[in-house]
Structure 1
């Protein structure tokens, strides 16, 4: 079995959760011994596993179908998580939904990160079989490291007793960036650092203004930072606060959990079935909730859930995800009469 992993606009999307999902797929397939290629011109593959939905992605699906190849679409995107993102996203989101339905319906099988996103797609009327498989997490990469933590503290000149609250995400209203800043105003004694970057020309003026100037002195937007500094931040910070309103999963949450960091999120449907309030994380529904929880968690008035959160990350390790992907690939191949015939002939020869 050979899989073509296709990812349109890899350089542009490398800083997003979808970009990290591709890295995880490569690792996961290597872990379970599945051969893969990233060469879009390759023709000797069995399955096209496609991650993006641009014009070239559409062409790749059509090309694969003409060649008689099986197509698995990794449905990272929905209409819901497209809204409240880029300029004009709410106005064109119905068209995006229509396009996604058309594209996803051409696949032989769909993979989506959570039962929640699976339910959304089924609600669109899509009849293609769907499996929910987490994007996974590299536990080794986010294992606590004093060296990485020191690099983070040195980079941001963090004092010994200074409390730090972090978030990682694009500059989208959907991500809860306005709430992050509003909460920071209530805790001027703490440092709030939002990691991530989105081109300023692509986001609404109100969000641009927040990032560039309309935020208190204790809020920082250092942009996209990778490697030891961000990995050190995940474990060295005092809290990972992710107030997003809509996700298909949230890879950054898995990264925080894998770092044994305390996680605070908004109570939204996507977390049902894998995150549990007051068990492996804390959840709030309003800024009033978040104010209470931030205070309680930072001052240790509330018991932390770090170890239980780490257990969640272990359940979604890249190794486990690799086996789940393999099962889907085998299921798709088993429904291919041409491949089945080849397998029978190979067995008879042996």
Structure 2
């Protein structure tokens, strides 16, 4: 068996996409390869592969220890994606950004979840041949479309009016997520029902915390903030919604969009470049409050448009699941993998 040590603190801070992506990967490997892979967690025992998912300082120190095997790092963010996420004094921010890249450069190989970030990493000093693109994925057993009757029950459970047109947003409450546009859309459309599932995962360090906290504590009557929702309950929220809206200004590969895809919920994303590289043609792009309002009007009033869109989205779900393979370059590993090198783990 190949020994893999997972280094991660992603699930210690709730409400993060990094934690969701990590859990999906661990579940997949444990389910599909129980005899081929021996997973260990946050241990310094001898291993064949050290797989780093978060950049905690103690994990950085572990990269200098012996018996770490091949060091593989997941890139869930780069310095530019942290802008408008957390606020730090400039000297501390510059030091932290330096640390992020120093951590990545300690790896033998990096995995990015969006191909557009390969060039950005190269510009930051990482060798291109040491970076591989592998998309995020979700398990269809966890996120799935409910029947019409089940959706009615879910709305009752969540205390959502049955006749309401529901727009769902998911993610941390922070400016980078486009939360102000979501709030403005709610204020401009009092007849629609808005839900933002997520909270302040980083507390007062969150960019724009003071102003956003005021709205969260006293939102418009048609806007509900349930806070950080346990992932096991998120399938209910996606199925209760008529539209999933993510107005983020910057992302890598949002797990929430994949979760919405998997439930068959029509998805509107801000029209930004990085989505085009991974999801082009399979979501509805929009710009600003006006663009989002126009598209939501379409979903509310044009049922035939919604149904044809859902059919296309379901076809995309099948395609994207087939693409979700994990390719690890284990060239220096002992040759025990009967599938050859690199190892292909297919959902």
Choose 204-213 or 141-150, whichever is displaced more. Answer: 141-150
CA distance in 2, matches of 1:159, 1:11: 34
* TM-score normalised by L of structure 2: 0.86
Matched, 1:211 2:213: no
| Residues paired across the two proteins, number | 327
CA distance in 1, matches of 2:69, 2:310: 44
- The verdict on how the C-alpha distance between 1:189 and 1:23 changes in structure 2, with shifts beyond 3 A counting, is same
Q: Secondary structure at the match of 1:38?
A: strand
Q: Secondary structure at the match of 1:159?
A: coil
CA contact (8 A) 2:170 2:196 kept: yes
CA distance in 1, matches of 2:32, 2:156: 39
Q: How does 1:43-58 map to 2 (within 5 A)?
A: 43-58=45-60
User: Aligned residue for 1:108?
Assistant: 108
CA distance in 1, matches of 2:150, 2:87: 36
Q: How does 1:31-180 map to 2 (within 5 A)?
A: 31-33=31-33, 34-63=36-65, 66-67=66-67, 69-88=69-88, 92-127=92-127, 129-146=130-147, 149-180=151-182
User: Aligned residue for 2:252?
Assistant: 248
Could you tell me how far 1:287 is from its partner in structure 2? 1.8
- The verdict on how the C-alpha distance between 1:36 and 1:282 changes in structure 2, with shifts beyond 3 A counting, is same
Q: Secondary structure at the match of 1:274?
A: helix
- The verdict on how the C-alpha distance between 1:316 and 1:90 changes in structure 2, with shifts beyond 3 A counting, is farther
Could you tell me how far 1:286 is from its partner in structure 2? 2.1
Matched, 1:188 2:190: yes
CA contact (8 A) 1:151 1:229 kept: no
CA distance in 2, matches of 1:20, 1:189: 33
1:34-78 deviations in Å (ceiling 9; x for gaps): 424233235232001110012122122222xx3251100011111
Q: Secondary structure at the match of 2:119?
A: helix
Structure 2 unaligned blocks of 5 or more: 338-347
- The verdict on how the C-alpha distance between 1:139 and 1:11 changes in structure 2, with shifts beyond 3 A counting, is same
Q: Which has the higher helix share?
A: 1
1:232 to 233, 236, 243: 236
CA distance in 2, matches of 1:90, 1:205: 19
User: Aligned residue for 1:275?
Assistant: 279
1:303-325 deviations in Å (ceiling 9; x for gaps): 232232233333443x864xx32
Structure 1 unaligned blocks of 5 or more: 344-350
CA-atom RMSD in angstroms: 2.4
User: Aligned residue for 1:335?
Assistant: 332
CA distance in 2, matches of 1:229, 1:43: 35
- The verdict on how the C-alpha distance between 1:129 and 1:177 changes in structure 2, with shifts beyond 3 A counting, is same
CA contact (8 A) 1:150 1:232 kept: no
CA distance in 2, matches of 1:104, 1:227: 28
Q: Secondary structure at the match of 2:187?
A: helix
Could you tell me how far 1:301 is from its partner in structure 2? 7.0
Q: Secondary structure at the match of 2:279?
A: coil
